[in-house]
Structure 1
Amino acid sequence: MRRAMRLSEVVMATGAKPVNIRDLETVAITGVCIDSRAVEAGDLFVALRGNRTDGHHYLQEVFDKGAVAALVEYVPLGAEEMPLLRTPNTVHALGQLARYYRRQFDTLVIGVTGSTGKTTTKEMIAAALEAGYPNAVQKSAGNYNTELGVPLTLFELDADCRFLVQEMAMRGRAQIAYLAEIAEPRVGVITQIGWSHIEQLGSREAIAEAKSELIQSLPPDGIAILPRDDKFYEFLRARCACETVYTFGRHPEAHARLTEVQLGEDYTAGVVVLNLPDVQARVWLELPYLGEHLLINATAALLTAVVLGVAPDGAARALRHIQLPEMRMAVQRQPDGWTLINDAYNANPDSMRAALQVLIHQIPARRRIAVLGDMKELGAYSMRLHWSLGRWLATQPLDYLVLVGTEVLWTAAAAREGGFPPSRLLHFETPQQAREWLLRTVQKGDCVLLKGSRALGLEQAVVR
């Protein structure tokens, strides 16, 4: 937290009832913390109740570390004399307090959501904006994209921050609407509508509706940035609460149209034709990563930055040097002469095929080995989507197909039925078992792709 808040402000923002606190006006907090292990002197500790732990059990610990007060749902035994602020729901109170704090600054918030590419696009937008507004851009860190992470990001705002690029995740209906209520974005970017969250929502139409909560929350003078190529573009366009809508993609009517794509051995590039009311330009856009899908994300980022006043060439130069978080299309040359494409952070049907396209078509290799894990959270669609992936893989020029997990058994069956040679199709239950096979098999000149859902921890297949 960059600006201290009096406890009276906390009470005003959250409606919490003070317990054993007499002076709300002069006592101030200098930070907000939800992890008892990370509490520092001057913090307000927010006690959360989860499936495995309860923050109310650690009140003595946080006060020993110098916490000023604690936001609680109940007063535990032994805490009757501690300075507490009681509220019916500490998660909701955390959000209310973050919204109050956010309103102390004239910061333009850019919300980013979508089925795939959220984090990548968020990083790219921040980099492109920084080219025009040095030291005035903040972004959500790591997985700070939920009802807990968004408030913690907002508490890092300060008077120098002109733009905050905030990723917004969801697991069900009304969650993005809630995050937007807290962060109050004026720009909303949707990357695409895919299969992620199908288990919770039941259909892609429902996913599109849930993702559209971001653009439905924008103010009338807000700006929506939408994927023009997406099957659900018209659906999304009809749900924009703002008048100004810009689009990106390969569609001829897109405001930022990607053309002339080049797939290099160590780069991906293309021309973006910008056709905006105040900007018409052709921009060479080059990324130090492999994958046309990343170029689409970069086109969205370029468009967002230009709409917000950054010169197109400057934004493109910044994207040429973008550094993405770990395990996202990271090409890692190994000391013994083979190449690893580590895209093991997560997986869904859309991102799985995009990563495989890089392995198959973009990177030179003596042999191509795909190590693929389960795609989680697909619910009733899991069998169908894993099977569809297998039938497609049967037609692709892979030297080995290595499947890890349980749901990929459908992929294995479909690949065999489609004619993939059984001698080059392997299945392992764990990444560690796959690692043993890889150590015996991978040779100089090979390229290995790792791609699977986060729950699998597929990167363990190459840990030395």
Structure 2
Amino acid sequence: MTLWTAAEIAAATGGTATADFSVDGVAFDSREVGERDLFVALTGEHTDGHRFLDQAFAQGAGGAIVSQPCAQPAVQVRDTFAALEDLARAARARVSGKVIGVTGSVGKTSTKEALFAALDRAPGTRAHRSVKSYNNHTGVPLSLARMPADSDYAVLEMGMNHPGELAHLTTLVRPHVALVTAIAPAHTEFFPDEAAIADAKGEIFRGLEPGGTAIIPYESPHRDRLIEAAKPYAGRIVTFGLDRMADVGAGEAMVLRGGASFVNAQVGGRELNFTIAQPGRHWVSNALAVLAVADAVGADLALVGLALGELGGLPGRGARLDVAAGDGAAVVIDESYNANPASMRATLAVLAREPGRHVAVLGEMRELGDGSADFHAGLADDVVAARVETAVLVGQAMAPLAEALEGRIEFVHVPDAGQALDRLRALIRPGDAVLVKGSNGVGLSRLVSGLANGMT
């Protein structure tokens, strides 16, 4: 089904079509352009998308949005970024289905993917979601612009690292349901304290559609702050969490063999029993958030439970790989996409339940500001509690953790992912459980890829 025609793009953006064309997708990275995609030639401080028009059309682009004349079929506008936002607004305006906005310090992408799997499961239902972790000032409008007009549900992830960013993004998304997964130290370099982070996350409620639902973590110390932020905009406020007092709570949660969890959940006076395939207490919280959203949009909760039981790990966010180790294999838990103190602790707790010898490759956590040293050193007890026998610490900011672990476990401290991979290959053994986690900029995904090249 055609996503956009040249005439529709021109009408949405106020631009001029130089040719008649239609497209099935949208991209602003020329490397990701596929057959019949619309290429948006964004301009920035370091690059200009117009330089890659030939490449985009060689890869099959059906048309482009440009701000200067070109030989290819295009809609010419004054400002290509403004045009992308205009296209996003037009996409949102033509969708009559339920739109869900997701933010939080941790768990955004995992919960977004779980929601998509749950909502897309119903026969005849069409769900849409943000691509990858495209949740910033360009990723959100791109995800909206890619949204088919006949979507029954859309799950849009929204991130921020400065105050005011979500206030703008939520006006583009205009969610019927706005979810905050959790508040934790992340991007603290840009905020005076955690309460300020909660205030910035609470901006998501400002874009709620009239009568919309705000969903808030019950156990968060900032719960009441978030509730106050939601009150002027939400028709209904719902809490979720492991506490029975939450509107969507866990009556019981048990860890099963293999790390999965069995959950007895209470949802608006109803009881639902289901299994979560993904290991970890944080996934129980994610699942309860999914149930709260699904209930708010009227989805089939039984199908949601089935989806959670079948959900696999995402690359960089919990995927598990069997990799070559000596004359056998080891399991790698790939959490390489991102890290902050809360998510580090959660995944170390997952490692603690794994059989075999425990190895942890931990990359530095970035954007933590003046508290960085204390946040890193503060992980020492969690590393020991996870029964880590050997740790590979990556990056200069890991020095305080190295100091805190001195004499407690074996570890090496290296400057980059390349050296970490060399050290890991030398020490990994058959039967090991290896956790790989760090901020995305550390590049530990390359380490995981390097290990996977010898996958058994």
TM superposition score normalised by structure 1: 0.86
List runs of 5+ in structure 1 lacking aligned partners: none
Provide the C-alpha distance between the structure 1 equivalents of 2:292 and 2:303, rounded to a whole number of angstroms.
12
Question: Who is 2:380 aligned against?
Answer: 390
TM-superposed CA distance for 1:15, in Å, is 4.1
Q: Indicate whether 1:440 and 2:426 are aligned.
A: yes
**Could you tell me which of 296, 302, 321 is aligned with 1:313?**
302
Could you say what secondary structure the match of 1:212 adopts?
Answer: helix
Identity of aligned residues (%): 33
Counterparts of 2:349 and 2:45, CA distance in 1: 39
Q: Which one is further off, 451-460 or 181-190?
A: 451-460
1:70 equivalent to 2:61? Answer no
SS in 2 for 1:338: strand
Q: CA deviation at 1:47?
A: 2.4
Letter in 2 for 1:324: G
The residue identity in structure 1 corresponding to 2:127 is V
Q: Report how many residues are paired.
A: 443
Go from structure 1 to structure 2 and tell me whether the alpha carbon gap of 1:413 and 1:112 turns closer, same or farther (over 3 Å shift). same
CA displacement at 1:445 relative to structure 2: 3.1
AA aligned opposite 1:138: H
Structure 2 matches for 1:112-261, cutoff 5 A?
A: 112-132=102-122, 134-240=124-230, 241-261=233-253
Is residue 2:345 matched to residue 1:345?
no
Aligned-partner Cα distance in 2 for 1:359–1:187: 33
Alignment RMSD: 2.9
1:316 offset after TM fit, Å? 0.7
Cα distance in structure 1, aligned partners of 2:202 and 2:433 = 39
Distance 1:83 1:161 in 2: 26
In 2, distance between residues paired with 1:384 and 1:257?
Answer: 33
Quote the residue 1:49 is aligned against. Answer: 43
Q: Which residue of 1 aligns with 2:23?
A: 30
Larger radius of gyration: 1
Provide structure 2 residue ranges, at least 5 long, that are not aligned to the other structure.
none
Give per-residue Cα distances to partners, 1:395-433, cap 9 Å, x unaligned. Answer: 6633223211111011111222xx514xx1221222332
Q: Superposed, which structure 2 residues align to 1:293-312 within 5 Å? A: 293-312=282-301
Give 1:97's match in structure 2, choosing from 70, 84, 87.
87
The answer to whether the 8 A contact 1:373-1:452 is kept is: yes
Tell me, yes or no, if the aligned pair for 1:223 and 1:242 is still in contact at 8 Å. Answer: yes
CA shift, 1:136, in A, is 1.7
Name 2:277's counterpart in structure 1.
288
| 1:264 matched to 2:256 | yes
Q: Deviations over 1:80-125 (max 9, x none)?
A: 99976332x4212211122113212212111111111111101111
Maintained 8 Å contact 1:259/1:270: no
Cα deviations by residue, 1:36-81 (Å, 9 ceiling, x for unpaired): 4666787654321123311233456667877656331xx47xx699
Change (3 A) 1:2 1:235: farther
Question: Is contact 1:271-1:282 (8 Å) kept?
Answer: no
Task: Give SS of 1:434's match.
Answer: helix
> In 2, Cα distance between the equivalents of 1:135 and 1:299?
22
1:153 CA displacement = 2.3
1:223-273 CA-partner distances (Å, limit 9, x unpaired)? 111111111111111111112111110223211112432223423213243
> Which has the higher mean CA deviation after the structures are superposed, 345-354 or 301-310?
301-310
Structure 1 residues 85 and 384: alpha-carbon distance in aligned structure 2, compared to 1, 3 A threshold: same
Deviates more, 1:163-172 or 1:396-405: 396-405
Partner Cα separation in structure 2 for residue 81 and residue 134 of structure 1: 37
CA contact (8 A) 2:312 2:319 kept: no
Alignment deviations for residues 252-299 of structure 1 (CA, whole Å, 9 cap, x no partner): 3211112432223423213243241xxx22222312222111121011
User: How many angstroms does 1:385 deviate by?
Assistant: 0.7
SS in 2 for 1:309: coil
